[in-house]
Structures are given as C-alpha cells and as structure tokens.
A and B are shown apart, each in its own frame.
Chain A
Amino acid sequence: MKLRLTADMLVDEVLERVETLSGQKLRACYQCGRCSAGCPVVEEMDIIPSEVIRLLQLGQVDEVLSSKTIWICASCLQCASRCPKGVEFSSICDALRAIVLRTRLATPKIDADGLTRVMMSDAPQMGVVGALRKLNG
C-alpha cells in the first residue's frame, strides 16, 4: 500500500495529544527495536511496539488506534526501563488507550458487578485490575 506523506500529516492533532498525554517525544525514537525485543507479550501483538512508534512518526494514527497492540500491552514497563533514548512506550500506550476510550464512547466497558466468581478465580489478579483500568479509562 502506497503512503502519500505530507507535512500536514506529521503535525496531526491526535499525534500532539499522544505526546502531551504521554509526555514522550515520538521523534526521539531512532528505531533500535529494543522495546519490541524485550516485550514479554510481543507475540500476542499485531504491531510490535517499535513499529507502533514508527507508524506514529509517519502520522499513521488510525492504524495504531485500531491495533490490538495497545490493549495487549501489560504496562510492565520493561520497554521503558530499557529504551536507550528514554522513550517510554508503555506511556505512549497509556495515551493511545486513553484517546480511544475518550473518543470512542461505544467501546464496551467492564461492569464490575457483572464479573462472576468463576471469572474472578480464573483470571490473574493483575489481569482483572489491568482490564478494569484499561477498559474503564
């Protein structure tokens, strides 16, 4: 697929929000790939962390917002602790999720009361807390 790059795409409003919410500078990433290399859940992602940042550098916001990756990120901060340029991918993921949740009201939320005892006992505690945090903004 051909991508027609323009200067306007690179100063996108959503991109600016990602940088503001995350406190991270997207252009600082020089694509070494260390975040992806150390990510414990990268196998489950459809776009690897470094590529998420690359797509954002190229202004490809929609592709990133509709990815599974941002929901699979467990916020373990492995990427952030290893990044040689101090770019915290986990924070960028937080920002991306927040943007989705705040702009896409139709996103189903988890009803805490609806969680059954069986579900609670099967799911890891961190997973339940993480799911509630992620999906309920």
Chain B
Amino acid sequence: MGERIGVFVCHCGTNIAGVVDVKRVAEELADYPGVAYSTDYTYMCSDPGQNLVKDAIKKHKLTGVIVAACSPTLHEATFRRAGTAAGMNQYQVEIANIREQCSWVHRDNKEAATEKAIRTIKIMVEKARLDEALDPISVPMTPRALVVGGGIAGIQAALDIANAGHEVVLVEKSASIGGHMAQLSETFPTLDCSQCIMTPKMVEVAQHPKVKLMTYSEVDDVSGYVGNFKVRIRKKAAYVNRDVCTGCGLCIEKCPATTPSEFDEQLADRKAIYTPFPQAVPNKPVLDAEHCTYFLKDGKCGICAKVCPLDCIDYEQKDEFIDFEVGAIVVATGYDLYPIENLGEYGGGKYPDVVTSLQFERMLSASGPTGGEILRPSDGEVPKEVVFLTCCGSRDTESHLPYCSKICCMYLTKHAMLYKHNVHEGQAYVFYMDVRTGGKGYEEFYTRAAEEDDVLYIRGKVSKIFEEDGKVMVWGVDTLSGKKIEIAADMAVLGLATIPNQSAAKLANMLKIHADEWGFLSEAHPKLRPVESLTPGFYLAGSAQGPKDIPESVAQASAAASKVAALFAETEYHREPIIAVIDEDTCAGCRVCVSVCPYDAAEFDDEKKVARIKEAICEGCGVCIAACPSGSAQQKNLTDEQLYKMVSAALEV
C-alpha cells in the first residue's frame, strides 16, 4: 500500500506533554505501518507548528496527516486549512484527541496516558489510510428569507435582512403585525411609550420594497433544505378584499356582533369584523367568521357588505395558498403567558380584580379599554392598594415551570411605578423571591420604584388569594422579618410565567427544528451559536428561543439577520461531505433508510428500485447506515471497513 501518513504530536505546552511522554509517542508511531513521518512540537497550532505540518506534507509527499492534539472542535479547521495550503485534500487531515480525552483525564497515570495516546493516534492512522479525497457539497442559494412572526423580533429581523438588500417574506398569523410589544403601555427602564417606538417600525417594514408582508397568514408547509426551502403560506380567508379596502372603518362601525378583544386581553369587546387596534398595520379589517352573525345565522345580516363603499366584503372568500422559495428561515414566534387557570391558589381567573400582567398593560395603555386609567374590573373604582406578584408559575419545579421568566421582575416594577404615577395616594406592594435586574439601567429603575414611588417590596411568595368583603385578600410572608403578611388589596396583578407561543409548537415540528422540553427553540450552541438552530438554514429570534425583553429580542433579531445576510453573501452554500452514500449495486430497495431518516434526505428511486441520498439535505447522522440490512449505506470517510480497522487498532488485535 502506498499511504504515507504524517503524525504530528503536539505538547500543548505542558497540557499534554506534562502527562504524556510525547517523544516516545512520536517515536513509536514512526514505526507504525503506513506512517512515513512522525514528530512532536510544543504548540502545533502556532504559525511555526502549522508550517512544520505544511513543510512535511511537501517534503515527505504525505497522503494523510494526523495531528495529535486537542479536541477537533477547536483546531480541526486550522489544520485542514494548513493541509489545503500545502496541496492536500482537507478531508485527509485528521485530529487525534490526546488532550481532553487523554492527558487532562489521566493526570495521575502518566504511563497509561502515554499508552492511550499512542493507541488513539494509531486508530486515526487506520482511518486516514482509507480516507478519500472529498469536496464540500455545493448547493445553490436562494437569497430570499422567510421570517415567521411579526412581533418586534420578526419586524427587526425582516428590516435588517431587507436593508442588506435581500427579499423577505414576513408572515404574521394575526390581522396586524406588532405582536405583544404593540400591547404594552410604556417600556422599562426608560418609560418610553411602546406604541410610539413600535409603530414607525411597523410602518417601515410594511412599506419596505424588499418586504412581502403577509398578515392573517400562517406557514402551512415547509420542505427542502438550507438555501432551497419551499414554503407554502396559507392566507386565511379574511372575507374582506384587503387589496381594495381603504380601511375606512364603516363596516366595523356598523357591525352588530361583538366578542372579547384578544388585543385588549378580554377587557373590552371588539366587533366580528375588526382591526385589532387603531394603529394596526395593515389598517384593514378581517372578518372573524366564528363570531359573525352572517355565518352563524345563515346569511341573516350582511350589514358590512351593504355599507362597504368599495364592495370589499366577500363572504365566499376561501383560504389561499401561496408558494415561495427561500434560502433561510427566521423563526420569531414569540411568547404567551402561562394560563391563569393553572394557578388555582390565586383564583385561577375567577376573580375579576386579579388580573394578568398583560391585562394590566392594557389598563395602563392610553389606547386601552380604560383610556389609561387604572380601574378595578369589578366595579370601576380606582384601586387604593394593589399587590403585584412575581414568579406566578415560574421557578416552581414541583407544580409549574422550573425556569425564571426573566422579564417579570422588571415589568412588575414598571407596573407598580406607573400605577403610582396614576394613583398618587395609592400603595403598591410587590411580592418577590429575588428582584432580578440584569440589564442596563434596570437596577436603577428598581431603586427608583422603591425609593421615589414608595413601592414596598416584600420578600416572599404569596400562598393564596381570595375574595373577602369586596377586597382581594393576599396571604404572604416577609421572610426578611419572619412575619406572615395579610393585605386586603383592591387589586392583584399576576406576573405570569412566559411560555413559548402555543400555536408555534406545531410549526417547530413541521420545520424539524429542536425545542427544549418546554417548547422554547434550541440554539445550536448556548454561548457561541445563540441565534442559529442546529438544523442549517434556520435562525431564532426573540422569545421563541427563551424569555426575553425588548432590547434582547431586537439584538437577537439583528444577529439572526446578519447571519442570514452572511449566508446570502455567497451564491452557493457549502456543506460538509461527511454524509451517507448508498451503493446502488447492492441496495435491495427495502426502503428502511427512507423510513428512518429524520431529515427526509433518503429517497426511493422508482425506476432503479434503489434508495438514494440527497446530498444537500443529508446531515451525516448515520441512522440509515445503522439501519441498512445489506450494508449498502455507508458514511463517507467512516465506512464499515474503516471502523473495523479503527476498532482493531484500538483493541490491538
């Protein structure tokens, strides 16, 4: 055999050399079959170290390189580049990990560590002897992005991608973009009006020439892979020709049917034909057939159609399906509040004066159902004492959710402060477990609430709330003084936990992207790849990935957008070629691979009656290879033959 393998043993200072006898390792490997050159060096990743590898490749006409050093996650790319620079195929450069998996864990037995290092390198030599020269897989790139969710994260991501010069399809399930941020009154820690800073962005994204805005629409189907997704959008029947409608509002005014408003968190009613809020974008109504008299009573109504000056009402309208090809998908589906019904000890939603945090936002909002006045839902009186509760469902491993919802400490502080600005003689109490103010200007904001607005923070979790004599009785404790506390309050506001948008769970399944056990989408790496999904081509923005406040959502959205822009900078996308391949000559066409592939990368060729792997989609997970009964499916550069020889080397048999 003509292999000429080079072995380069790194000392990593004393990280490796302090435990492993690197000289002996290099000497033993020099005599191993197939090895043409073997040496050691203090820091192989340094420039002189890399030059040592490059020079040896040329001088000794090496056909493969083993760098025995740290984990391949750190420097595999470094040495592959060095190999390429010296004219070697990068997939014939291999790493033998003798640091994390050897010297670091066997400090107390240097002799055995040296033996293990030798064997680890021999394993990789056996692999390298059969490594083929491979090329990265090139797939064409469609430079158009799909952004799912029209809240602040989705809007920001869409704007940034569009401003980088790429087309964007922005899909929002409700009738207007804006998301939860449009519902908020003022925003911590600066107290600027949420709608005032939100609406210009909504208008900008709607008018952007590169953005195709699709409201009242949902993602129906997604297929394909990075660079080449095919998406089908379902444009829900609005029963209004929204292309012609001018948003005059006459239909809304005359509509006789009402139902609780989702935007106002059920504190006020909306019509059956409606725009969610006055600054809606687009400011054109949709008709909600579930609450419309025309639909409920077999055509007995039709007032909206009669009053519309432009004949926009179309009761026969059907859902429409529109297909797009996109290269990347940003998921920004946002959050919901943990259901109040789950908190029976706080009334579970049956006490009118125990409200959710989003309901209180609507009360504070100048455009809300009370015009910005704080009034008790039960009798419309101004509440003199209001209790705010953090951790309603959060940080409760036994009965609810284990995680911290992150934003509640701050928004309840804001609520308490704004309540005091509204009701000067009122008293606000905040029950807390820890006040978490990790953000710029947040601690100062909390201090301001406690010192200037006399908000009384009480350290303890409320055990129950019940109604008594027209009051909401709050039973808590102050663990700082050890006193059990009872407050006869006029109102209580629950800082309900943040959970992922419940209607987005289906979407994550359809997209085949990972989520944690609570449904928050998983990032590829918790520190170093926080805005990407593990599945190539998918990016995460906002609370869909985990509880986030506005600045963080915007930052993550912009980060995701820059990742998309970088992806679109190339006309082709290059993928690792370490994937499955099927030998057509031996494939029996049993289709086991097709059924087990989690990425839909294995397909069946009906003409040849054999299975085939779609190169651009295969992630190289190896499931089909393990499942294939005839051994026809093989992983490139990790074939059965290679694995057999590697195991033999490991066992020295």
Given A27-B450, A31-B459, A6-B385 contact (CB < 8 Å):
yes
Residues of B contacting A31 with CB < 8 Å? 459, 480
A123 within 8 A of B: no
In chain B, what residue has the closest Cβ to A30? B450
Q: How far is the CB of A67 from chain B (nearest CB, A)?
A: 13
Task: Select A58's contact among B385, B427, B483, beta carbons within 8 Å.
Answer: B483
CA distance A18 to B355 in the complex (A): 36
**SS of A interface (majority):** mixed
Residues of B contacting A1 with CB < 8 Å? 483-484
Task: Select B486's contact among A4, A10, A50, A58, beta carbons within 8 Å.
Answer: A4
How would residues 457 to 481 of chain B score, 1 for a CB under 8 Å from any chain A CB and 0 otherwise? 0010000000000000000001011
In chain B, what residue has the closest Cβ to A55? B481
CA distance A30 to B480 in the complex (A): 10
Task: Select B450's contact among A3, A28, A55, A60, beta carbons within 8 Å.
Answer: A28
A54 within 8 A of B: yes
In chain B, what residue has the closest Cβ to A85? B447
Residues of B contacting A57 with CB < 8 Å? 456
Instruction: Please determine whether B451 and A3 come into contact, CB atoms closer than 8 angstroms.
Output: no
Given A2-B486, A4-B486, A7-B385, A27-B454 contact (CB < 8 Å):
yes
Instruction: Please determine whether A27 and B486 come into contact, CB atoms closer than 8 angstroms.
Output: no
Residues of B contacting A10 with CB < 8 Å? 427, 454, 456
Residues of B contacting A3 with CB < 8 Å? 478, 483-486
Q: How far is the CB of A87 from chain B (nearest CB, A)?
A: 11
B110 within 8 A of A: no
Query: What is the number of residues of chain A that contact chain B, defined by CB distance less than 8 Å?
Result: 20
Given A54-B478, A55-B481, A58-B478, A4-B450 contact (CB < 8 Å):
no
Residues of A contacting B481 with CB < 8 Å? 51, 54-55, 58, 60
- Determine the interface band of chain B, counting residues with CB < 8 A from chain A: 20 to 34
How would residues 424 to 453 of chain B score, 1 for a CB under 8 Å from any chain A CB and 0 otherwise? 001101000000000000000001001100
Residues of A contacting B447 with CB < 8 Å? 28, 30
In chain B, what residue has the closest Cβ to A29? B450
Q: How far is the CB of A33 from chain B (nearest CB, A)?
A: 9
Residues of B contacting A2 with CB < 8 Å? 483-486
CA distance A23 to B400 in the complex (A): 45
Residues of A contacting B456 with CB < 8 Å? 5, 10, 27, 57-58
Q: How far is the CB of B446 from chain A (nearest CB, A)?
A: 9
B487 within 8 A of A: yes
A134 within 8 A of B: no
Q: How far is the CB of A28 from chain B (nearest CB, A)?
A: 5
Residues of A contacting B524 with CB < 8 Å? none
Residues of A contacting B485 with CB < 8 Å? 2-3, 5, 58
Q: How far is the CB of B581 from chain A (nearest CB, A)?
A: 64
B75 within 8 A of A: no
CA distance A12 to B478 in the complex (A): 19
Q: How far is the CB of B601 from chain A (nearest CB, A)?
A: 56
In chain A, what residue has the closest Cβ to B486? A4
B230 within 8 A of A: no
In chain B, what residue has the closest Cβ to A4? B486
Residues of A contacting B384 with CB < 8 Å? 7
Residues of A contacting B488 with CB < 8 Å? 4, 6
CA distance A5 to B474 in the complex (A): 10
CA distance A25 to B429 in the complex (A): 18
Of B384, B427, B488, the most chain A CB neighbours within 10 A belong to: B427
Q: A5-B429, A60-B481 are in contact. List 6 more A-B contacts (CB 8 A).
A: A7-B426, A28-B447, A28-B450, A28-B451, A54-B481, A58-B481
Q: Name 26 A/B residue pairs within 8 A (Cβ), A-sorted.
A: A2-B483, A2-B486, A3-B483, A3-B485, A4-B486, A4-B488, A5-B429, A5-B456, A5-B487, A6-B488, A7-B385, A7-B427, A10-B456, A27-B456, A28-B447, A30-B447, A31-B459, A31-B480, A50-B480, A51-B480, A54-B478, A54-B480, A58-B456, A58-B485, A60-B481, A60-B483
Query: Interface of B with A (CB < 8 Å)?
Result: 384-385, 426-427, 429, 447, 450-451, 454, 456, 459, 478, 480-481, 483-488
